[in-house]
Amino acid sequence: MTRRIWLEIGPLQEGQYTGLSQVTAGLAATLLGDTTRAVGFFLGRAAIPPEIVATVLTRGEGEFLSFWLARHTPRAPATSLNETSIALFPNVKTCRRGFAIETQIVHDLSTLLTPQFHLPETVRFHAAAMADDVATNDLTFCVSEATRQDVLRYLCPPDPARIITVHPGPGQPGALAPPMVPVEPFVLVLGTIEPRKNIAVILEFLAAQTQLLAGLRFVFLGRHGWGEAPATLLARHGLNEAAEAGRILFPGYVSAAARDALLARARLMIYPSLFEGFGLPVLEALAFGTPVLTTRSSSLPEVGGEAVTYFDPFTPEDFGRGLAEALQDRHATAETARAARRTWAARFSWPKTWQKITAAIDNLPEAGR
Amino acid sequence: MTGAKAPGGLPALFISTAVSGDIARNLGVAHYSYNFAAARFRTLLAQDFPALRDLVMPEYYATRAAMPAPPAGEWLHLIFRSTGEIRLLKPAWNIACFAWEFPVLKTETLPGEAPTANQAGMLNSCDEVWVASQFARNVLQSHGVAQVHVVPAPISRPKVPGRAACLRLLAGLPVTQLRVNPAWPDALAEAEARAGETTLDAALRQFSARAVLFLAILNPEDARKNLDALIRGFHCHRQEYPDSLLLLKLIRGGDGITLAEVAGGILRTALGPGTALADPGILICNAFLSEPEMTALYGAAPFYLCTSIAEGQNLPLLEAMICEAVAVSTTGTAMDDYLSADCAIPIASTARPNDDPRLAGLVAGRNFTVARASATDVAHALNRARQLSVPARERLAHAGREQVARLYGPAAVRARITDRLCGLGIAPST
């Protein structure tokens, strides 16, 4: 019997693709390119035609999906009696028992293990669903070995062999990469503005070392998620003046093309997160050959390996040490160093991810369990 | 445990305590004051493990290399948190230092609950569990937690000045005499409490020089403490022994307890609606006390009164006993390990199905039986305490001190830890 893999594309409804929606977009693009397998896409309990998914990916935002859904009544997925339907949920399971085989990608147990970094309603929604999702999965794909170990230790699934580490690939490159023109040196801080991302450690340092801003701009790229807003953070650290002078910038969310341009040209990308399931920004920076300063939290050493500089976020002065080390390395931006980073990043790719996912699915018995 | 040993054979030791300020605010409200226990272990083990490190977020470290300057050899991680907040240090041997005083434990996660709600599951995610009492060990083992060892928090005997010196040190301690009136609105209750505020010295001078001081230290919002029976029992006892005085020291983590809270809500809640009770011999103290002042408190009172229905270890009671205060106390749960008529004055209690919705044991999802002392039980025990001759009281005080030192003294606890390290294949401290 034919096996059809159905990718749930709920995250593609988002207006701005970051994190989970980026991962879903990467997977969707890979599925669309795989002509050897029967694949499908679904949203809720509705099948979405591949050409619609392709259009959504080209546009890079989810509004079109809502627009299309409002004007069509799509068929239900997994209705063919001649196929074994396999669901691949790229995040939480939006439905259970709707497919013969259910697989899921688990990104992290952050809402369970670090609830202090999340809104209470987010914790309630995710932490409660987590164990039930994994318990009802035929396969669970973890985006890092760190997450896999968390799943094994805290969720105690009945069959550890069905919990598999599958690293994701980098985000989809922006379609309109601008030409490389000289720009003033800047440091990029990439990620949603929220407590877990820990950008306060950078602002605290800049507040004490304002002279650094004379030679470097700091660009905090990402939408405001929750917690203190950029204006509040700047005021709390006494950095309003630097922001008004354009030395510290919070441009919010930008297009994939603009993000890529900034990633490619940054003197350094800083990712000071306190807990991660994977850490896509680190991989994306490395894919451009850009130097990275990050922490050794959870999954980040898996992503950064020896290609990045680390600091300890629990020792305040260590950020200054790490920053100096990263900035003072005269060879850091040399082409050979950039190439080495790109080589490291190349070990992560969506085709490799897809290959590992499909191999695991192929090894499942027909009945699923 | 396997792998390379640290120089000297000792593992590196890591300790994680409360996750956030919320824990500190709730100290004592939950079933155990983990931070207090952690502080005691830290002090005890600092000599043996000079490289001891405190961890804020053990979940941060997925591998040994994630730790700055990672120590060589085995890693031990002591976790002083409630089960829902247990976070593993993955490269280490994780030990949950858990206190539990109820006969039931939550062993499953219902649909819609977070996995952290499963107490037994979270304990089993650790490599082993240290509990403070035989009672807790039996409960955990009967609920499917296999690797359980009794390693209680250590109790050291401080240098206690003589009783007169202690009272001099505490002379200026602000206290207020118990007065509760159901007709008083909160503001008036607070004003009355402020008007009645005095010093310990001044309060004691209202009584004869032969007055006998009983001490009780508790969090009044902790439902296990049975505060209603404690106060009413003491009030009843004072009808026969008017020169008995109770110093009720109220504690709570974080910001402490204000007099307004004591007068306006805490006592009324504890004593029940409609209560009218005034007793100048029941002195309430909500002030913050330094460590020497706390020691003086133990040294000033010949008796310590405890009416708890369940305890994980009961550090204040043990501290009082090692300072030679005679325990007038309920028994049961952890207290069965160290209290008997040979070293204390037990308070009788009656086992009944629990009817208090505030007890932490209810997280297990089913009810249980608790042994609760009535006010009459408390009064009878207090009367027996006052009927003791001086030599008999001194014998009990001495026996209590010896009992605590034998079971919980630093040497005794260190020996238990050494046993565990040997059990793990790690060379013990020399």
What's A29's domain CATH number? Answer: 3.40.50.2000
- Kindly provide the residue ranges of all beta strands, DSSP E only, lying in A30-112, ordered along the sequence: 38-43, 46-48, 83-89, 101-106
pLDDT of residue A30: 94
pLDDT at A226 over 50: yes
Give the residue from B359, B322, B316 showing the smallest Cα distance to B334: B316
A52-64: average pLDDT? 90
- Chain B residue at shortest CA distance from A299: B62
- Contact criterion met (CB below 8 Å) for B37 and B75: no
Q: From the CA atom positions of chain B, what is the Rg in Å?
A: 22
Instruction: Answer whether A155 touches B (CB < 8 Å).
Output: yes
User: A141-195: per-residue pLDDT in tens?
Assistant: 999 999 999 999 999 898 999 999 999 998 765 544 555 667 899 999 999 999 9
Q: What is the per-residue pLDDT across B184-200, written as a single tens digit (0 to 9) for each?
A: 888 888 888 888 889 99
- Whose tokens are 């909160």? That residue is B186
- Give pLDDT, residue B4: 38
Q: Under an 8 A CB cutoff, do B59 and A154 touch?
A: no
The reply to whether A276 and A336 lie within a common domain is yes
Compute the nearest-CA separation of B65 from chain A (Å).
8
Q: Indicate yes or no: CB of B62 within 8 angstroms of CB of A156.
A: no
User: Residue A369 falls within a domain, yes or no?
Assistant: no
In this structure, the answer to whether residues A160 and A286 fall within a common structural domain is no
Does B114 contact chain A (CB < 8 Å)?
Answer: yes
Cβ atoms of A92 and A83 within 8 Å: the answer is no
Residue B262 has a pLDDT of 81
- In angstroms, the Cα distances linking B215 to A21, B212, B272 are 61, 10, 22
Q: Does A104 touch chain B (CB under 8 A)?
A: no
Nearest residue in chain A measured CA to CA from B86: A113
Structure confidence at residue A53 (pLDDT): 96
> In whole angstroms, what is the distance from residue B147 CA to residue B125 CA?
11
Mean pLDDT of B87-106: 96
Q: How many CB atoms lie within 10 A of CB B86?
A: 25
Say whether both A72 and A50 belong to one domain: yes
Is residue A368 assigned to a domain? Answer: no
- CB A137, CB A369: distance < 8 Å: no
- Tell the burial category of B126 from Cβ atoms under 10 Å away from its Cβ (0-12, 13-18, 19+): buried
Q: Which of A148-157, B257-266, B273-282, B390-399 has the lowest mean pLDDT?
A: B257-266
Q: Which 3 state secondary structure label does DSSP give A293? A: strand
Share of chain A above pLDDT 70, in %: 96
pLDDT of residue A181: 67
Taking the CA of residue A155 and the nearest CA in chain B, the distance in Å comes to 7
Same domain? A35 vs A136: yes
Per-residue pLDDT, B269 = 84
Of the listed ranges A2-6, A220-224, A312-316, A356-360, the least confidently predicted one is A312-316
Q: Does B110 touch chain A (CB under 8 A)?
A: no
**CB spacing of B61 vs A296 below 8 angstroms:** yes
Residues of chain B contacting A312 with CB distance shorter than 8 Å: 68
**pLDDT for B184:** 85
Confidence (pLDDT) at B260: 78
Looking at domain B7-154+409-423, does it have CATH number 3.40.50?
A: yes
Chain A residues in contact with B116 by the CB 8 A cut-off are: 112, 127, 154
3-state helix, strand, coil in chain B (%, to 5): 40, 20, 40
Asked if residues B97 and B78 have their Cβ atoms less than 8 Å apart, the reply is yes
Query: What is the rounded distance in angstroms from the CA atom of residue B379 to the CA atom of residue B385?
Result: 10
Tens-place pLDDT, residues B343-373: 999 999 999 999 999 998 999 989 999 999 9
CB contact under 8 A, B65 and A274: no
Question: Region B57-75: what's the mean pLDDT?
Answer: 93
Read off the pLDDT band of B261 (50, 70, 90). Answer: confident
Question: What gap in Å lies between CA A317 and CA A327, rounded to an integer?
Answer: 16
pLDDT of residue A329: 77
Mark whether A99 and A228 lie in a shared domain.
Answer: no
Average pLDDT score, chain B: 90
Asked if A220 and A248 count as a contact pair (C-beta separation under 8 A), the reply is: yes
Contact between B59 and A275 using a beta-carbon 8 Å cutoff: yes
- Report domain extents, chain B: 7-154+409-423, 163-408
pLDDT at B427: 61
- Over range B84-107, report the average pLDDT: 96
Nearest CA in chain A to B94: A153
Contacting residues of A for B121, CB less than 8 Å apart: 156
Indicate the average pLDDT of chain A: 91
Confidence of residue B19 (pLDDT cuts 50, 70, 90): low
Compute how many other C-beta atoms are within 10 angstroms of the C-beta atom of residue B206.
Answer: 12
Task: Tell me what pLDDT residue B9 has.
Answer: 64
Which range in A226-230, B269-273, B423-427 is most confidently predicted, on average pLDDT? A226-230
CATH number of B163-408: 3.40.50.2000
Report pLDDT for B48. 82
Q: Taking CB atoms and an 8 Å limit, are B109 and A131 in contact across chains?
A: yes
Pair A116, A190 in one domain:
no
Q: What angle do CA A159, B122, B99 make, to 5 degrees?
A: 155
Q: What confidence tens digit (pLDDT) does each residue in B21-55 have?
A: 443 333 333 334 788 899 999 999 988 888 899 99
Greater confidence (B257 vs A162) lies with A162
**pLDDT tens string B403-430:** 999 999 999 999 999 999 888 887 655 4
Mark yes or no for CB contact A275/B90 under 8 Å. no
Taking CB atoms and an 8 Å limit, are A275 and B60 in contact across chains?
A: yes
CB distance B270 to B227 below 8 Å:
yes
B230 CB-near residues (< 8 Å, 6+ apart): B216, B218, B248, B305, B307, B378
Per-residue model confidence (pLDDT) at position A177: 54
User: Does residue A176 lie in a domain region?
Assistant: no
Q: A301 vs B121: CB contact, 8 Å cut-off?
A: no
Domain match, A216 and A89 both:
no
In this prediction, residue B7 carries a pLDDT of 43
A311 and A353 belong to one structural domain: no
Residue type present at position A142: C
Contact yes or no for B206/B280 (Cβ under 8 A) = yes
Q: Which residue has the higher pLDDT, B266 or A29?
A: A29
User: Would residue A304 count as lying in a domain?
Assistant: yes
Q: What is the mean pLDDT of residues A12-38?
A: 91
pLDDT of residue B28: 35
Share of chain A above pLDDT 90, in %: 71
pLDDT confidence of residue B160: 93
Confidence check: pLDDT of B216 > 50: yes
CB-CB under 8 Å, A299 with B62: yes
- The reply to whether A22 touches chain B by the CB within 8 Å rule is no
Residues A148 and A212 in one domain: no
Number of domains in chain A: 2
Q: Is B218 helix (H, G, I), strand (E, B) or coil?
A: strand
What distances in angstroms separate CA B259 from CA A7, B221, B250, B273, B297, one per listed residue?
61, 14, 10, 19, 20
Cβ contacts of B87 on chain A, cutoff 8 Å: 113
Question: What is the SS3 assignment for B223-239?
Answer: HHHCHHHHHHHHHHHHH
Of B59, B67, B115, the CB nearest to A130: B115
Local confidence band at B255 (pLDDT 50, 70, 90 cut-offs) = low
Rounded to 10 degrees, the C-alpha dihedral A94/A95/A98/A104 comes to 60
User: How wide is the angle at C-alpha B147 spanned by C-alphas B14 and B336, nearest 5°?
Assistant: 95
- B108 at interface of A, judged by CB pairs closer than 8 A: no
Contact A128 B56 (CB under 8 A): no
Beta bridge partners of B285: B249
Calculate mean pLDDT across residues B372-399.
97
* B1: pLDDT strictly greater than 70: no
**Are residue A240 and residue A149 in the same domain, yes or no?**
no
- A135 part of contact set with chain B, CB < 8 Å: no
User: What pLDDT, on the 0 to 100 scale, is given for residue B155?
Assistant: 96
DSSP H helices, A152-220, are 200-208, 212-215
Domain that holds residue A23: 2-169+349-362
A194 & A134 share domain = no
* Placement of tokens 């601008």 in the chain: A178
- Amino acid at site B174: P
Q: Do A296 and B65 touch (CB under 8 A)?
A: yes
Tell me phi and psi for residue A304, to 5 degrees: -85, -30
pLDDT at A238: 97
A333 lies in some domain: yes
